[in-house]
Structure 1
Amino acid sequence: MPHWLPEPLRPAHRETLPSFVSRLSASKGVSAKNLALDMGVSLKRVVTQDPEALEQLRIWSRLTDTEFADLLSWTGVGAGDIQQEFRGELVGSRSLRNPVVRGCPLCLAEDAAAGDGSPFKAMVMRGDWQFKETVRCVRHGADLVPLWRANSPSARYDIGSRLQEILPALLAGDFSQPRREVTEYDHWLDARFENGTDATWLARHSLYAATIMCRLLGTSLQRLPGQAEQDPHQLGFNALRNGERSFRDALDQLTDHCDSTQFGPSKTFGSLHEKLSRDYAKDPQFAEFRQCLRDCILENWAVGSGELVLGEALAERRLHSVTSVSVQSGVGPAVVEALLIEAGAVRADDPRPRARKTFDAKEHAGLVAIIPQLVGPMEMRKAMGATRSEFRALVEIGELCPVTRIAGFKTPWLASEGIRFVESLRRKGGPIPNGERGWSTIQLASAHTGIAVSRILAGIRNEALRVGLRDGEPGYHGICVSRNEITALENHAPRATKKWREGSISIAAFGRSIGIRDHGTFTRFVEAGHCPAHLVRNPRTGQNHLRMTEAEIAVFHEKFATSNTIAAETGLHRNTIRALLNDHDIAPFSADGHEFGRIYLRKEVIAILPDGAAMYAGR
């Protein structure tokens, strides 16, 4: 039969199980180990919460079910291999169980003074002291301090023995620390411990996750100017208490603060990033915090497709930066930056390092794709199979346009455009008829006949001129035309059909002049009645062709615009114009479900132009 205590000892408020066992043994005048033996168990079984040992303690102590449950609640009960149930919430075991035992020396000194000659019967170890994220005693404003260290749980939780060892130093004030102002974080945590009260956004999160996030975020925020001496838990609490927007604002502050360096997310957010990437990468308690940080990272750094961000792979790249494009393309960052500025992808006055000068990867995918393909004039001519004079002539008439007009830029040409131009002409040709004289390259034919290269190209495109292909000459220089056909075409064509002589131009030529190279697209636009044109019969082929007079062209410009016409009027680069149109969601003109390429309503374009880049309301 158990030896009932004559005067039952009651647990103090917030007392832990080992502390109560220590005081119970002191009230009997025995050690905690001997008390456990008297109960028929060992102290180790008691502190490790063996069910039989706990039942014996409950019987011996004569505690009510409510008292015993409260005692265990403030101690923490195992809930799996790595978790404890503490005050009705699941917390990581390491947040409660630590070889270093902390406490408030002022509370213990007061307990000892009130012990009526038996300090060990009165000294209480409070449960909230165990929790790793508890910073200080709310009652005294004193930081919790390490009282002792013991790796063995039996030695660590033999509270009476450990208190006997430190009592002289404790009473002498050796453990005392300067008192500090109790923070809002301290009061918030104390209320969560006491009865779960929480009026902040953190109420939706577990105590474990909320307190850890306060510390991790606060530690990162200490890097900001003037914050180094602030309490990290309080800094984090201030940033989290009001919700996700406040949390994101704090992350943005850290992001902006790193702009003077090449820091990536890991260095920018420090232990916050490290822990959410590793220790808590799969913990559902941290899911909302991870998502907020992940969103911040993906909106500020150029993360590549497939890269892991806080344990989750990015399916598709969202942002590129000057640095990422440079690495991907193999082109120097200074060159890449100049191209991106001209295209309106990044700002010239952006003070951030190149790794942080980001832009929408999908919107500018075309530009990023062509950067590594840009070549100089020699490579362009070689790709096209054109001589220097042929290439120069094509540039002068606007058949070939550089991707960029940056002064001094050595590789402004896109070889694929030149190849596409050549192939479009060669598809119209065949072998030069045997024995037929008078065939020359386009450039030589222009020189011999005095007919402009542009006129010859127009004749090829509207099939007024045949194309002959030289054997062994696969490029532009291998394209030939008949000088006799050119002369005959020019001499016998009615004045009304001669380009520009009567202010008339084919709709294909006009379409190319405004940047619409797809002849079929502009033809549909005209035939749908959106722009006036008139039919002219080709005297050589007998076919009717749509052509436009200057008056008809003026009608087009009165209502519509393209990137080329906007550039001509404003001086803005076409890439900048495309960026403006995209940024303001200006869609190309369409009617009755039909689209006609990149033709825009003039009034919509005028409305979005920046200051200093004016267009006439009508031409």
Structure 2
Amino acid sequence: MSSTWLDQFDLQASLDFCDLLGRRLARDRFPQLVDMSRRDRWQAISTGFEIAAAGEEALRTKFAEMQQVEGAPQDGPQKRFGILYGNLNRYHTGAAYHPFRSILRDHIIATWPIAAGVQVLGEVLPERRLHSVLTAARETGYSPERVRAILAAHGHVPEKCVGKINAWEVFPAGPAMDLLRRVGCGVTVKAVQKALNMTPSQISTLRMSGYLEPSVSGDGHRPLWDLAAAEAFLDKLLLGAVPVAANEPEWGEIGAVALRFRVPPGDIIRMRFEGRLPSIGTRQGIPGYRGIVVRSSEVAPNLVRAPAGHLNMEGFAKRIGLPRPQVRRLVMAGLTPSTILRNPASGAMQHYVSPQDLDAFHARFVTLLTLAEEMDLHWQKLSGPVRKSGLAKFLHEGRDFGQLYERKDVPTGWFQRVHP
């Protein structure tokens, strides 16, 4: 008689395992054991034996087929593997059955989004190893479609059009833990507007200066905000605020004062946070951001114009179309040249970008905005082609800087293919 993989195990345990596997595979025809004739029972055992005799890999392949073809993870292993799982879990728990229990258990743990604390064939999972899009959606409270778009944007799962169904699209839970935490705590921009009493344009304008950045953002999905962080921003801005009557003309709303002096509202907020704006007030009866007012007479002395032909960080960010925090990181890391000059108002030394520095940036890097300018296109028309091209964003120490790319990575002739 030829030997098989099963020969290394206890004979009775092997027979029982083949019996249970075969009966589970015959479940559609014979839901109950009493429905099976002796011949049917023998055929079921033979079916189980043919699969098991081929070895562990053949068993894992069959297990995957059983769970993928016949159901979804939310059914649970008991339902998907039926009598095979049930008997190995409740009755066949002795040492002779350990090899078979281990193979099924390892397969389930390696492929199933099992939650922490759940027992699988005698072993309690101390922490979640896998999530599916569906379990992640339930954990965060957002729809599977939205969660999938976020996960895909951050490289944890493929996009829906090329991946599996949400219930079976599994991914390692550990690397996605922080992202899912931020998604679970995240709120929509409308919630931020309501909590801080801001308009959409006010939030958009402050984001250009690096304030009220979303906690979760990326291509292909709407951003989410950390409401606690947004409220902390407002509390910090309101620290020491004094009540101001509606008819006091020397005070003005931040946006109105910024418009008068032709500076971003973020510049005025930065003055306050840096201690260069002595006073801040709140209009009586107007809560939140819309009620905040400043004195124009205190703002004016803080306005610093960059030296002729030089850009400050705000101007540089606008010129190349990147958020100010990413631009500042890029400059402070020395990844693009800058010129250090004394700020005439504060006396502090700070970074500016000279025309020569800007030329050096353009020689090494491109952004969506600068690419669009070179190709005489609107940047929005270029966003899709860049994303589909797979052009890799510039990374430094594992962090990206938004839609920033090294010029050398742009394939030769790509400009002509996109815009012949």
Report the TM-score when normalising by structure 2: 0.70
Gapped runs of 5+ residues in structure 1?
1-190, 192-197
Kindly indicate whether the alpha-carbon contact (under 8 Å) linking 1:218 and 1:232 is maintained by their aligned counterparts in 2. Answer: yes
CA contact (8 A) 2:210 2:325 kept: no
On the 8 A contact 2:255/2:265 being kept in 1, the answer is: yes
Write the mapping of 1:82-231 to structure 2, written as runs, cut at 5 A: 199-222=3-26, 231=43
Q: Corresponding residue for 1:30?
A: none
C-alpha displacement of 1:314: 0.9
Residues 556 and 513 (structure 1), Cα distance of their counterparts in 2 relative to 1, 3 Å cut: same
| Counterpart position of 1:484 | 297
Shift of 1:306: 0.7
Give the one of 296, 308, 313 matched to 1:506. Answer: 313
1:290 aligns with 2:101: yes
Contact 1:381 1:388 in 2 (8 A): yes
Cα distance, 1:540 vs structure 2: 0.9
Decide which of 240, 262, 282 is 2:52's aligned counterpart. 240
SS of match in other structure, 2:312: strand
Helix, strand or coil for the counterpart of 1:233? helix
Q: Match for residue 360 of structure 1?
A: 172
1:72 matched residue in structure 2: none
SS of corresponding position for 2:161: coil
- Aligned residues of 2:341 and 2:349 also touching (Cα < 8 A): yes
Displacement of 1:305 in angstroms is: 0.9
CA distance in 2, matches of 1:605, 1:475: 47
**Offset of residue 253 of structure 1:** 1.7
Q: 1:333 to 1:425 in 2, by over 3 A?
A: same
Taking only aligned residues, the RMSD between alpha carbons, in angstroms, comes to: 5.0
* CA drift at 1:293: 1.7
Kindly indicate whether residue 70 of structure 2 is the aligned counterpart of residue 258 of structure 1: yes
Map of 1:597-608 to 2, 5 A cutoff?
597-598=399-400
Say whether 1:302 aligns with 2:113. Answer: yes
Does 2:325 correspond to 1:517?
A: yes
Distance 2:183 2:25 in 1: 39
1:328 shift after superposition: 2.7
- How far apart in 2 are the matches of 1:450 and 1:515? 19
1:249/1:474 Cα in 2 relative to 1: closer, same or farther (>3 Å)? same
1:157-181 Cα shifts (integer Å, max 9, x gaps): xxxxxxxxxxxxxxxxxxxxxxxxx
Q: 2:125 is matched by which residue type in structure 1?
A: L
Match of 1:544 in 2: 349
Alignment of 1:356-505 (within 5 A): 356-387=168-199, 390-391=202-203, 393-394=205-206, 399-400=211-212, 403=216, 412-422=224-234, 425=237, 430-431=240-241, 438-457=250-269, 459-460=271-272, 465-466=277-278, 468-470=280-282, 475-477=288-290, 479-490=292-303, 493-496=304-307, 502-505=309-312
Deviations along 1:235-280, one digit per CA (max 9) or x if unpaired, are 3223223432222112122122124796432222121111222223
Q: Secondary structure at the match of 1:355?
A: coil
Report the Cα distance in structure 2 between the residues aligned to 1:604 and 1:233, rounded to whole angstroms: 64
TM-aligned CA distance change 1:555 to 1:540, over 3 Å: same
Q: 1:445 deviation in Å?
A: 1.1
**Structure number with larger C-alpha Rg:** 1
Query: How many angstroms apart in 1 are the aligned matches of 2:117 and 2:362?
Result: 47
The answer to whether the 8 A contact 1:561-1:599 is kept is: no
- Structure 1 length normalisation: TM-score? 0.50
Q: Is the 8 A contact 2:243 2:283 kept in 1?
A: no
CA positional deviation for 1:209: 2.2
Q: Residue type matched to 2:280 in 1?
A: G
CA distance in 2, matches of 1:287, 1:553: 67
**Residues 254 and 269 of structure 1 are in contact (CA less than 8 Å); yes or no, is this contact kept in structure 2?**
yes
**CA spacing shift, 1:443–1:372, aligned 2, 3 Å:** same
Distance change >3 Å, CA 503–CA 275, structure 1 → 2: farther
> Matches of 1:580 and 1:365 in 2, distance apart?
27
Maintained 8 Å contact 1:508/1:519: no
Q: CA distance change for structure 1 residues 220 and 350 in 2, over 3 Å: closer, same or farther?
A: farther
Q: How many residues align?
A: 387
Deviation of 1:455 after TM superposition, in Å, equals: 4.0
Distance 1:356 1:495, change over 3 A: closer
In the TM superposition, residue 542 of structure 1 has moved relative to its aligned partner by 1.1
Inter-CA distance 481–245: structure 2 relative to 1 (3 Å threshold)? same
Question: Separation in 1 of the partners of 2:317 and 2:328?
Answer: 13
Q: CA deviation at 1:535?
A: 0.7
Contact kept in structure 2, 1:304 and 1:314, CA below 8 Å:
yes
Q: Report the 3-state secondary structure (helix = DSSP H, G, I; strand = E; otherwise coil) of the residue aligned with 2:160.
A: coil
| Percentage of identical aligned residues | 24
Q: Give 1:348 deviation, angstroms.
A: 1.0
Which residue type is aligned with residue 24 of structure 2? S
> For residues 270-326 of structure 1, what are the alpha-carbon distances to aligned partners after superposition, in whole Å with 9 as ceiling and x for unaligned?
211112222234x23233322322232223322111111112111111222233234
Contact 1:559 1:603 in 2 (8 A): yes
In structure 2, do the counterparts of structure 1 residues 260 and 432 end up closer, same or farther at CA, with 3 Å as the change threshold?
A: closer
